Every structure is written in structure tokens, then in C-alpha cells.
Amino acid sequence: MKKKRMLSIVVFLVIAILVYVKFESIIKANTEEKKTEMVAQTKTTKELSPEPPNPNEEPGWQRYTKNDPLGIFMDAEQKLELRYKFGSSEESQVDQPFVTGSLQGNYGMSAVVPNVYLHDYSKFDVAPPGNPPQLIEVGDVNALERGDDYQGPNTSSPILLSWITDTGEAKTIYKNDPDLTLSNINLYRKTEADQTTTTMLKYNWQMSKGFFKGYLFQATNVLKPYNGTIRVETYLKNITPADANKPVLKNITLNSHYPIGLGYRSEAGETNPIFYLGNNRGLYMEYENHLRLTYRLNYFFNVPNPVTNWIGASTLVGSWSSDNPSASKEQIAEAESKNFLNGHYIFNGITGAGNEKDNGKAGTNVPEPPFWANLAKKDPAFSMKSSVKESFEIGDTISYAFNIGLQKIDDVPSIMLDDTEGFRLKGENTYSLKGQWFDNDSTEIDLFYSVDGGAVKGPYRQRTTPDMLGQGIEFSIDLTEPGDLKPQDHEIEVYAKDLPEEGTGLEPTESNHEVLKLVYVDDDPKIELEETMGAILPGGYKVKGRYTGKDEKYKPATISYKKTTDPDSKYKEMTVVNSPNETFEFTIPEKDMPDANGTYVFSIRAENKYGVLSNVEDVMLSNKQTKPKFVLSDKSKDNLLNQTAKEYPIEFASFTHTGLFYPLTVQYKVDDEKEWQRMTDQPVGAMTAVLTDVTEGPQTIKLPASKLSFGENHVVHFVVSDRFGILSDEQTVSFNMPGKPVIESLDKETDFSMGVDYTVAGTVSLTDAYFPFTFYYKIGTGAYKEVTMAEEPNETSGKFSFIIPKEELPRGVKHVIEIKARDRFAQESNSATLTLEGIRKSDVIVKFIDDAEPPQSIAKDITFTQEIGTSIDLKKENSVLDVIEELKKKYEQILPDPTRVVEFTDDSTTIEYKFKGRLTYVSFPEAFDFKLNVASYKKIRIDDPTVIGMPLVVSDTRASSPGWSLKVKLTEELLNEDGRTTLRNAVRYKSGETETILNDQALKIAQNLKPGEYNVSKDWNPEGNGFKVEIAPGAVNALGKYHGEILLELGETP
């Protein structure tokens, strides 16, 4: 069966439209999705001036006196040996130069210089003039200028030191300074786990004159094989005796200068023979000997604890020495000192940058130094320096390292990795393995790699052009997790095979094998300071704390600070820790706190070897500390105790303090407690980089209720503390016990004993009382019983009611009932008395029933109480008639009204009016007014009609309702009042994203599967679903009022 309802649609052109619109209500749930910062600042591991190895404390070191060379073979055939030692590579110099702790015989300063060179065991046929051919060995490939004590070996010169004088002049001490003396020279060696040998030379140096007179330094150089290269570590430690009373050294850099030689003496005008390795990896130079064999010298700077600045330029003396052949040693040393920090030659001052700033392309020449322009011959060299150490105190160390590699360039392919030690942060699933390959005769090679000795993967074909043969060609292979990598450390082995041209009959030749040690970084560094505030004192402020990391492999970690109160301040590295659990200390210099009456904040953080940052801790230094302030809300100053509460909300109206001192922490103590308790989980505000007052709030702080015992009043004292521990003035909040509940009155204090369930009603006092209440009653001399209440007392009015079962109240017997209440804290009220007299009365109970299976009550029962023997005519009782009329709106009455008069007898009488549920409209609109609209040749769209009449409400009271559906169809198109002009296809219905033009076919617009009332109108919305009117451009042919009709059909099934 369908229930139909005809509705009108009215349109006025100039133009006004009425139409029905139905919207579906759509509820969308919007969901919204900070610890140690794991950020690698650079892909090079960091080490801040770690201490040099200590042979007296570290196992494995042995004192050594014979200065013979050590070596590692670079190829499987053992024809290329990379050798390393201190001093000259000449075999005649191999003896014991340091046995007494000082230089022996004719050894000069170059005897303490680290030296790396390549010995080629290959033999070649040569035919000396007038002699038969003979096999000769290639021999050493190095850059020694034998006998020249200022040129030295190819890899290094003794340590240089630069500084800024009080007048701002940059100066350098060079090794040839005649006032420089060396002492306590000791040579050590140590066999490593991979059976290679590390060698180390330690010596003291000091100046007999000048600015550095009285200072003593310990120099350390370490030579260590590392993946086919030699790692050269350089350390300088200030070991000046404390009783020397020397001032703290300021603005110091550690420097090194490496004249190359390699037989290169070019004519003026030719380019610099030093080239970039590319990607800021370093520099290289090639050398061809008399047998036309090519060798390549590589300086790698992207290593742990790298140098800061590096340049491929010229020797220190350059043309000056050739123009002054009779110059004394002192004059040469002076020239060298001046040239090192002279941008015309090498670095432009103590902070000058080098070639690292260019990030030059691989294989391109580095820029020539300016003074080379008209030089008759050019002596290339490598120079480097550390960053400026602003303070070089007793016990401090400056250090850096680089790797040296020498390779032979021939027809056998070779490879070189950008890094021989890399790292990958947790969360980085890709690592790019990068390097260069070399070959003199093949333009194609295949690359192969394996992880931790596992299966070999490849080939990865690489190609170049003939003009690039013999040069370094870059390659890159991406290793991924999962696949190649796991969350652990790995060793990646890489090699290449060339591809001979077809028809040559040659077999592919295999390159050297290179190994990359890839470290997996999963660190969580933390620092904790001993103090977070202090005073500004002469000499600076000493910061002390503890560093905690996860593993030894992440050491060393650098500790840095910056001046937070200076927005331009950068973090400065101050000290290093060499254990995953170690204390540290350093001094913030006095110069960072120029105003003794000022306030300064410094941020401290740690950074592990791989660039992972710790938490940041701040230190506030001031000689006049300002207190934070707060204002409590008036409504939070007086509170009632609540025995069941878990916490008490305390509202703070505002907090005021210096911006840099936020966040604040609320602290409290109860009554006479001595110690403040910190509410650490509820910080207030956020730090802002200002030294002016910042106001935050309001904010509600939750006080644990467990701190306040119930049964007595309390006073809670509050202060706020800034992040440096400075406390505000104290304020208090009171917590008082609630008053006891009072039953103010009963609605009836006397009534009649009718033998029915009796409702007790009354009012309980709200003064200081807590809900919910529990009620008790006793009848006569019986015991009190707890009431199970259907509804709790009203918290606004205090009204309550409960039922005493009829079984406890025999009919006609007098009953005296005592009633009490208890609040949630078991506080008992006064007693109220209800008396039920024994006069005999009876009830007629009228019920309204849905005659379903099972029957259900559909309206509240009506009870009439009169004396036994009297009667009542229900057809005259308005209370009954009103209920019947209201139910007829939703139900069909199936039992006629009783015609007899009902008498009151000894037992209660029940009268039932029975109804049957039905599906019907409760209310509906008469029309929709689409208001006045102006006719136009443009499209006209109206989405917001005015509903005329009642809302559209459907009621379904059927006992076993399967649901219902509501459909609509257009029964009359929009027709002008002239009776002729029609607007077709104008009335539409929108549902979701679908909009349908209404016609004479029924369209479902709503359905409901649940019984009860459903307000269809509440879902209508101008921006969403429902009826619309849309008139196409130019479709209006007549102005005036338009009228149409739609038919709504209510179906008894969905």
C-alpha cells in the first residue's frame, strides 16, 4: 500500500520558485595524525679533535726504533705495494733516527714527516746504450726532493700552527723556523686485527723565541692502512705546564702543507696539474715516469674527522726562493710563514676557504694561484687547515685526518670508491655506492658487488668514450633495504671487469677489489646537565653534564653550545666524549657574557660521530633573576572536596615571564608539607627567543585528588618554576569538606494505604551537597533498606522519587515510613516521615496497549483512586480522552471505548485500550516558495526554497515493521499563470553527487528500516541533497507566476 501526498510547486518569473528539497545528512569524521633528532648534518662522520692514541694506556702499542717502511699490496699479483713510514723513502735512510728521543746525525725536520709512496715490482726490458737488454724494476713512485729539508716527502710536512695576533695580524709557524726545536721523539707500531700495522710518531715541539716561547706542544702523526689507502691522522695537544702561567691561546688553526714534486716542472702558462676528484671528495695528480708508466696520487678528504679547508696550489716559497737563491734558512722560514695565509699563494687568512667551496667537477683542474701567472716553473702542493679554535687551553687537542692513495693507471681496469667507510641512518632505505673506474683500453666495463661475502650481484654495465680512457669515470649503484641491506652494519665488496673488443681474443681482466664498511646508525644520544642556571662570573661559566649513547661505534660525540639570546649565534664545538656513557665539561667564555648585569641563555647539545643530534639542554646565566608570575582564576580559589574524584581542575588565568625562560612548570605542596612537588606532565607555554615578558594562558592544571585526604579541609600552595628553576611568589587554594545533605520536604507526608506500589517523592537540599545520592527507608520498626532508583535526583531542582513495592505495604494497614539520604561520601541526611493511613480505597488503572505479540505499553498508565463502592465514567475523563486522541495520530484504535461505568472494588481494576501500529504522515508541508527571481538569458539555479507549512515527518509504529520508502514524482510541470507557457525539465532532485530531473516516474528519495518517527525535513540543506530548480539559458518565455505539483508516495516496504 502506498500513501500519497500531492504538493505544489510555484514559480514566478521575474523569477520566483517553490520546490521540495530533500537532503541526506552526511557526517564526516576528520582525523588528524617530537625526542632526539636523527639528522646527519653531513655524510662524512664527525670527530672533534679526539685525543691521540696513548701507547701507555692502550694495548698493542710497542716502542720501535728501526724506521723501515711498512706496506700493503694493492693487487693479487703483489706487484704494487703501497708503503708508508716517517721520513725519506731512500733505503740508505733506514736506521734508528729517534733512538735517543732526538734527531740523529744529519736528519732534518723531514725525518718526522709522514711519507706514503708506491713501490712497483713490475720488470721491463731495457737496452742501455752499448749493453745487452736487461730486466729492471720500476721502483719507488714518490715525491721526495732528496736533501731538501723544506720540501720534504710527498704526503706531508711537519705540523704548522697559525694564529691571530693582538693587532689582528695572521701569523704562521712553519717547520723550518730556526727557533723551533723537537724533543722526546718516539716511534710506535701496533698490529691490528686484520694483520696490518699501524705506525705512530710522537714528539714535543716548542719555540725558543717569539710569541710561543714558553708553550709546549705534543705532536702526533698516525699512519694506518685503510681499504687500499693510508689514513694520515694529525694531532696537536697543548701540554704547556700549568706553572708556566701562560695566557690561554686564542684563534688557533692546525695546518699542513704537502709539496708534491712528482717530477713536475712545467713552463709558465700551463694549467695547474692538480684535479678535482669530484663531489668534494678531494684532489689528485698524475705522474708519468721515464718508462711512460702512469701513476695517480689521490688525497681523500671525505673521511672521519676531516680537514676543514684544502687547496691544491703551490709550494709555500714558490718564486721567492728562486729569486733569492742565497736566502738564509731564517729568511726562507719567514717567507713560508707569510705565504701560507696569503691569498696570493694559498689561503686568504686564517678563516680563508679552499677548493672545497667550489665542489669542482671530477677531472677538471683546480684554479691556479694568482702568483703562478708569470712563474718560470710551477711546484704544485696540497695545503690544508682546520677550522679556527677560538680557545686552545692546556689539555686541549686539535686534530684532523685524510687518506692517501697511489694507483697505477694501465690496461687492467681499476676502481676507486668515494668512501671506504659510510653510514646509513635508521629509516634511510637506500644507500648510493659511488666511485670511479679507470681503464686505458676498454670503453666498457661491468661492475659487481657483494654484501658481507654473500652472492655476487651484477653486472652493472658502465660506458665511456675513447677520449676519456685513462680518466676517472664516475659510477653509482643504489643498495636498498630490504634487498641488499638489513638494519645492521655491512661490508660491501666491489670490483670491475673490462670488456675487450670483439675479435681480439683477449679475456676480460678483473680490477682491484674495494671494500666499503657501511655502518647502520640507530643511536639515541642524550645529555643531562648538572645545573641549568648560574651566575655570570669572571673567567666564564663551566658547564658540566653527562652524555649517554647506545653503542661504542657511535663515538666520539661532540658537545656544542650556542648563545640562544643571540639570534645569529651558531653552535660551537667545545669538547668531545669518547664513550657512550661519559661526563663532560667545558667553559662558556666570559666574552659571551659582556654585561655582568645582563641575562644570557645558552643551548647545549651533543652530536654523535654520524651527525645524530641529542636533546637540547639550556643554561640561564644571570646575576639578577626575575621571577615568573601567575594569576589564579577566582572560581578556582575555593573548592569542595570530592571523595570519588581522580583529579581537581585548577584554572590559571595567566602566566607571565621572560619568553626565553618558558616553558614553566607548576609546583605545589599540601598544608604543611616542606617539599614542593613538581607537576612535570603539565608544562605551561613554549620558549620564544625574546628577553621580554610573554603572557600565556588561560590553562587548566589538574591536581591529583589522591594528594588531598577526605574528611578534613586543606590548603594547597602553588608556585610556578621556569625552566631554570626560578620560583614565583606563592599563592594558595582552599579545599573544604562539603555540607551534609538535607531532605527539605516530601511531596506528601500523609496518604492512604492502598496496597499498591507507592511512589515517594520530595526535595533534597543542594547546599554543598554532592550527587548522586543514595536513599534508604524503613517501615515501622524494621531495618533500613537501600533504594534502587530508576532515576537519580535532579541536580538542578533537587527533586527525587522512588518506589516502595506493594508487597511491603498491605492494604488498609497504617504504615509509618522513615526516609534518609546519603551523599556519595556517606554523609547522612536528616530523617523525613511519611504516614500511610488505613482508610480503604481502591484503584482503577487505565492502560494503553499496542496489541502486538507480545503486547507493549505505548503511553503512561493513568490511575484513579477512590473509596471502595464508588464508580467512574472513563468517557468523561479528559485525561483518558486526550491520550486516545494523541495516539490516534500514530496508531489505529482496535478496541472501542468502554460503555460501562467502572466501579472501585476491593482489588484494583485494570482497563485496557488497545491499538494497532501503522505507517503514516505525522505532518507535511503545503508548498515550497522559491521566492522572486529575475529572468535572465543565463542559467537560473535555485537551491534554497522556503518550506511552507509543517515539516515532513513520517511515523512507523508497526510492531514488526520491515521499514518504509518515500518516493516522489512530478505530476504537473511548471505552468505559467497564463495557462499556456510551461517550464520543462526544471524541477530536479539531488542525492549525493547524482541530480535527477523529475518526471512522471517515481524516484526514491528516502527510506528507513527502523520504527518510530523520522523527520525527512531535517535533512534538507541548500548546499546538499534535495529538490532544486534549474532553468536553462533562454528557456523563460513568459514572466509571471509558475505553478507545479509533485506527488510524494509513502510505501510500506523499503
Secondary structure E strands in 351-411: 381-385, 389-392, 397-409
DSSP 3-state of 438: strand
Here the cell at position 327 is 736566502
d(C-alpha 1028, C-alpha 941), whole Å:
8
DSSP classification of residue 554: G
pLDDT given at position 790: 61
d(Cα 817, Cα 779) in Å, to the nearest integer? 5
pLDDT for position 43: 47
Cell representation of residue 332: 726562507
pLDDT at 532: 84
CB contact set of 412 (below 8 Å; sequence gap of 6+): 439, 498, 509, 510, 511
- The pLDDT score that the predictor gives to residue 41 is 43
676 neighbors 719 (Cβ within 8 angstroms): yes
Q: What is the pTM of this model?
A: 0.52
Cα–Cα distance measured from residue 957 to residue 890, given in angstroms and rounded to the nearest whole number: 7
Q: Computed over its alpha carbons, how large is the radius of gyration of the chain?
A: 49
For the stretch 147-151, contacts whose Cβ atoms lie closer than 8 Å and that sit 24 or more positions apart, written own/partner, are 149/108, 149/109, 149/110, 149/176, 150/175, 150/176, 150/317, 150/332, 150/336, 151/110, 151/259, 151/261, 151/315
The answer, yes or no, to whether the previous bond of 854 is cis (omega within 30 of 0) is yes
DSSP-assigned letters across all residues of 35-84: ------S-SS----SPPPP-TTTSTT-EEE-----EEEESSTTS-EEEEE
Query: 134-141 and 114-126: which strand pairing?
Result: antiparallel
Per-residue three-class SS string for 204-237: EEEECCCCCECCCEEEEEEEEEECCEEEEEEEEE
pLDDT at 450 (0 to 100): 95
The per-residue pLDDT for 820 is 93
| Cα(363)–Cα(282) distance, integer angstroms | 11
6 bridge partner residues: 1047
- E strands, 530-684, in order: 533-534, 541-548, 557-563, 572-577, 581-588, 599-607, 617-622, 629-632, 638-640, 647-658, 664-670, 677-684
Bond into 59 cis (ω within 30): no
Topology of domain 841-917, CATH: Ubiquitin-like (UB roll) (3.10.20)
**Does residue 998 contact residue 1046 with C-beta atoms inside 8 Å?**
yes
**Three-state DSSP state, 748:** coil
Return the CATH fold of 413-521.
Answer: Immunoglobulin-like (2.60.40)
**What pLDDT is recorded for position 25?**
25
Alpha-carbon distance 809 to 819, whole Å?
15
Q: What is the C-alpha separation between 236 and 50, in angstroms, rounded?
A: 10
Q: Does domain 629-728 have CATH number 2.60.40?
A: yes
- Amino acid 560: pLDDT: 92
160: number of Cβ within 10 Å: 24
In angstroms, what CA-CA distances link 157 with 33, 110, 338? 58, 7, 16
DSSP labels for 231-266? EEEEEEEE---GGG-PPPEEEEEEEEEEE--TT--B
- Tell me what pLDDT residue 632 has: 92
DSSP string, 165-201: -TTS-EEEE-TT-TTEEEEEEEEEEEE-TTS-EEEEE
> How many C-beta atoms lie closer than 10 Å to residue 467's C-beta?
8
> Which H or E run contains 333?
helix 329-340
Locate 362 and state its grid cell.
671530477
Query: Which pLDDT belongs to residue 615?
Result: 93
Please state the separation of Cα 151 from the chain's center in Å: 52
Report DSSP letters for 787-838, one per residue: ---SSPPPTTT-EEEEEE-GGGS-TT--EEEEEEEE-TT--B---EEEEEE-
**Distant-in-sequence contacts of 503-508, Cβ < 8 A, 24+ apart:** 508/446
Helix (H, G, I), strand (E, B) or coil at 385: strand
What is 526-619's CATH topology? Immunoglobulin-like (2.60.40)
Residue appearing with cell numbers 515510613: 817
* Residue count of the chain: 1054
Torsion of CA 358, 363, 369, 374, to 10 degrees: -150
User: How far apart are the C-alpha atoms of 79 and 297, rounded to whole Å?
Assistant: 17
Q: What is the pLDDT of residue 489?
A: 92
CA-based end-to-end distance of the chain: 12
Name the grid cell of 76: 693479487
Check if the beta carbon of residue 667 is closer than 8 Å to that of residue 727: yes
Q: Which residues in the chain land under pLDDT 50?
A: 1, 8-43, 47-48, 92, 143-157, 263, 268
